[in-house]
Amino acid sequence: MTYQGSIVAIILGLVTIWVVLLDAFETVVLPRRVTRHFKLTAWFYRRTWIPWKAVAGRIRTASRQQNFLGYFGPLSLILLLGFWATGLILGFALVQYGIGGHEQLGKEPLTFGRILYHSGETFFTLGYGDIVPTTAGARVLSVLEAGMGFAFLGVVIGYIPVVYASFSRREIQISMLDARAGSPPTAAELLVRLAGRSENPGMDQWVLDEVLRDWERWSAELLESHISYPVLSFFRSQHSNQSWLGALMTMLDVTSLVLTGVEGVHPGQAKLTFAMARHAAVDLAQVVNARYDPQAGERLTEEDFERLRETLAAAGLKLRADEQARQKLAKLRSMYEPYVHSTAQNLMLTLPPWEHREKARDNWQAGPWDRVIQAKSLVALGRRPQRGEDHF
């Protein structure tokens, strides 16, 4: 009976070690998405994100809710590393308990709990010496576990900076979008501001292509980094009205309008940017296990579309509005909106509209002293500040 129990412990321990090491390798080293049904890291995030999301749903204040959600990404990264370490310690403890060959100082019985403690001190190379391996197999196993502890420390030192470097690269472009497309960004605002940079009415093709080319590269980097490090999906931007998903949606909206047809604008670069951004939207929806929601609300009603056309026309951009153009825009939207909407629901992110109904200040224009400074400046000029007055 004892021998059978030992064999079972060895097998369970080896399986545990293999599963943890394979999962850590796929998460940290393997630069591609794993498609098998069960993955330890995916299971970990499902079991931790669902209750975290439920608690966040009970927070009524929007700013506090976003702050609470913002803790999950960095905290889950630390918890995941601890989860792996715990799994390895447990796996080695099972194997050590199965093969035997340990002596303990004192008369306390050598139970599985004591072996688990010995596995932990070996993994973290504490070396107290109160439990000593006495057989060749136990000694070899202790050396292997101590080496695994050093390797795990190397993973921690190398993995976290890489994740934060990828996060930083992602956020730079999102921050730059603030002055180009508003806060939160919208497709209408981006096109209007780009048109405003042209000396002639309409759009400067070179400026538009340059912007779309930058966002094509950003979408490719977003896809690569979030597939390689899925935890980045849970890292939120510094401002609550910005997000990687909102920026991606804005670029898809912009390129959809250009592909629908804007007078005097060639859609060549827009096709490439739309393809890359749509690819990212679809694949990243699978990364976060988003599910299609047939009850998703309509983002662009007929009234919204007409108002959007008027806004663009005021900036010198004539958007096609015939039946063929409307059908094309509807088809383009159907290629990405369901995926982005489902991802937003899963991650509790707010998607930007096509156009702001009321003018809002950009993030760079907002600050704790701005109202006082602006009011004093206007008073010095002999004017009273008007409600909603802009800095420019």
Q: Specify the CATH number for the domain of residue 132.
A: 1.10.287.70
Same domain, 104 and 37: yes
φ and ψ at residue 102, rounded to 5 degrees: -130, 145
Report strand pairing: 102-104 vs 131-133. antiparallel
Give me the residue label for tokens 């504490």. Answer: 126
pLDDT in tens, the chain (392 residues): 333 448 888 899 999 999 998 888 888 877 666 565 667 888 888 889 999 999 999 998 888 898 999 999 999 989 998 999 999 999 999 999 888 877 777 767 778 888 899 898 989 888 777 788 888 888 899 899 999 888 888 877 888 888 999 999 999 999 888 888 888 899 999 999 988 766 666 778 888 999 999 999 999 999 999 988 889 999 998 888 889 999 999 999 999 999 999 988 999 999 999 999 999 999 999 888 888 777 777 888 889 999 999 999 988 899 998 899 999 999 999 999 999 999 999 999 989 999 987 777 777 777 666 655 655 665 565 655 554 444 44
Single-letter amino acid, residue 219: S
Query: Tokens at residue 23, please?
Result: 């999962």
Give me the residue label for tokens 């849970």. Answer: 234
Residue 389 maps to a domain: no
Same domain, 60 and 190: no
Spatial distance between the Cα atoms of 361 and 227, rounded to a whole number of angstroms: 34
DSSP label at 61? S
Residue 212 maps to a domain: yes
Spatial distance between the Cα atoms of 304 and 352, rounded to a whole number of angstroms: 14
For residue 138, the number of C-alpha atoms closer than 13 Å in the C-beta half-sphere is 17
Same domain, 249 and 300: yes
Cβ neighbours for 322, distance < 8 A, ≥ 6 positions apart: none
Give 3-state DSSP helix, strand, coil % of the chain, rounded to 5: 70, 0, 30
- Please tell me the total count of domains within the chain: 2
User: Could you give the C-alpha distances from 197 to 50, 190, 212, 319, in angstroms and in order?
Assistant: 45, 11, 15, 19
Read out DSSP for 3-60?
HHHHHHHHHHHHHHHHHHHHHHHHHHT--S---SS--HHHHHHHHHHHHHHHHHHT--
Same domain, 335 and 260: yes
Single-letter amino acid, residue 229: Y
Same domain, 212 and 337: yes
Residue 379 maps to a domain: no
Q: Which helix (H) or strand (E) holds 371?
A: helix 370-380
Spatial distance between the Cα atoms of 239 and 180, rounded to a whole number of angstroms: 16
Same domain, 56 and 14: yes
Same domain, 133 and 265: no
Same domain, 141 and 168: no
Domain termination site, one of 106, 141, 158: 158
Read out DSSP for 123-140?
HTT----SEEE-SHHHHH
Residue 234 maps to a domain: yes
Residue 386 maps to a domain: no
Task: Estimate the crossing angle of helix 40-57 against helix 62-99, to 10 degrees.
Answer: 150
Number of helices and strands in the chain (H, E): 13, 2
Read out DSSP for 256-324?
HHHHHHBTT---HHHHHHHHHHHHHHHHHHHHTT----TTPPPSS-HHHHHHHHHHHHHTT--B--SHH
Which of 320, 305, 210 lies closest to 262 in space, CA to CA? 320
Same domain, 89 and 184: no
Domain termination site, one of 135, 158, 181: 158
Spatial distance between the Cα atoms of 288 and 79, rounded to a whole number of angstroms: 18
**Domain extent for 284:** 162-370
Residue 383 maps to a domain: no
Domain termination site, one of 158, 193, 213: 158
Can you tell me whether residue 100 is helix, strand or coil?
A: coil
Residue 307 maps to a domain: yes
Same domain, 131 and 244: no
Cβ atoms within 10 A of the Cβ of 294, count? Answer: 5
Same domain, 133 and 172: no
Residue 47 maps to a domain: yes
Same domain, 278 and 258: yes
